[in-house]
Amino acid sequence: MHAERATRVRYWVIVFAVTLAVITYIDRVCISFAAPSISHDLGLTPVQMGWAFTAFGWAYALFEVPGGFLGDWMGPRRVLMRIVLWWSFFTAATGWVWNFWTLVITRFLFGAGEAGCFPNLTKAFTTWLPEKERVRAQGIMWLSARWGGAFTPLLVAAVMRWVGWRHAFEIFGCLGVVWAIVFYMWYRDDPLKNKKLNAAERDLVRSSAKLAAGHAPVPWARFLRSRQVWMLCWQYFCLSYGWYFYITWLPTYLQQGRHLTIPNSAILGIVPLFFGGLGNPASVVAGALLQRRLQNVVLTRRIMACIGFTGAAGFLVLSTTMADATMAVLAIGLASFFNDLVMPGAWASAMDIGGKHAGTLSGAMNMWGNIGGAISPLAIGYILSWTGSNWNLTFYLSAVIYLMGIVCWLFLDPVTPLEPADA
């Protein structure tokens, strides 16, 4: 008699994560392509546009830990429904702004809503997926997120030509509302409560499902004393600082720094996030091959991170030496590819170190990363203002910060849990 084959109901969690990741990046990236039109209509300077970009980043960073903590405490089902509805409203509200301050406030509230999205999806992976499937799930999710952002410029360009930038934001805001309703109806915080799982699949997810009840007090003092936590957070700061350029200033750089037309900038604007998306599954595959050879998870993740940070810095600097805009964008695309080689390992480390507190810890990591992301567009705005639009200098600074991420990984233990599994 053959053993029962496990059903695959758990993979619907990955489907929901993928669709939300795409929606998240559409809502997040659309302002970068609309920025030249927004600046023109509202009469904004580069510094003021930088503040509008950074308002999102600061709110996103500040509300990451609360969002992740709520996921550990209340469960992702209720938290994700609330935050997706919140940010969808303020996506639409971006089309209603009338001056600098209303834009900044709206983007801040939008960022507050998006905070907690990926920590709660990470919590869902931790409770629904066996340990061996989590890294692959993270790679698939981040591939989808990057590609959602990659094709957003073409989508925004088409919608803006049709209805203008103001109504475009209203249309994008509707996407999240549909997702929130469907997700809330299907998802359960405890996978064992889903009657469609057969006995074999229940056995697969049973140990992970115990984390669904992980509402124990967060060991904040242990978090603050842990070198693991600080190194995990600082490496993500270095990663996010360089990466935020792709979702904020890139279209402006292509139009003003490389003198491309709006249609051409929309086409070339696909490249960095598209390549970044490829970096995630490439990291999962290369990491698995390296792991089989080395039989050492810690060393494997460190090597992948060091390759990623080195390549991101090198190709970003290389782009500054290229006179041809297409070749420069390809180099930037390769920088984005290497950037995302770090991603699956970083998020898998947050799950491994955090355990039942995976939502809170991944929120802390993402918070620190987005502090770097919040600083980046503002720093770029000031550098452009002070130097007469010296884009190369902004790339050199990002490259240096990328290289600092290598140091963090050399001191990071990415696998040892902060608390025993039965604590």
Residue 153 corresponds to which amino acid? P
Which positions ≥6 away from 397 have C-beta within 8 Å? 379, 383
Q: How would you classify residue 412: left for phi > 0, otherwise alpha for psi between -120 and 50, otherwise beta?
A: beta
Q: What is the rounded CA–CA span in Å between residue 183 and residue 181? A: 6
> Which pLDDT score, from 0 to 100, does residue 397 have?
96
pTM: 0.76
Q: Which residue has the tokens 């997120």?
A: 145
Count of other CB atoms within 10 angstroms of residue 194: 18
The angle at the Cα of 359, spanning 378 to 104, to the nearest 5 degrees, equals 25
> What is the number of alpha carbons within 13 Å of residue 72 lying toward its C-beta?
25
- The candidate with the shortest Cα–Cα distance to 56, out of 24, 79, 81, 85, is 24
Token representation of residue 364: 């802390």
Q: 367 near 59, Cβ under 8 Å?
A: no
Are 286 and 305 contacting, i.e. CB atoms less than 8 angstroms apart? Answer: no
Half-sphere exposure of 4 (CA within 13 A, CB side): 11
**What pLDDT does 209 receive?**
64
Which residues, given as ranges, of the chain have pLDDT below 50?
Answer: 1-2, 423
Q: What are 133's two structure tokens?
A: 């499937």
Q: Are 192 and 370 in contact (CB under 8 A)?
A: no
Taking CA atoms, 12 is separated from 97, 118, 160, 168, 280, in Å, by 37, 16, 33, 30, 20
Rounded CA-CA distance 105/80 in Å is 22
What pLDDT, on the 0 to 100 scale, is given for residue 1? 40
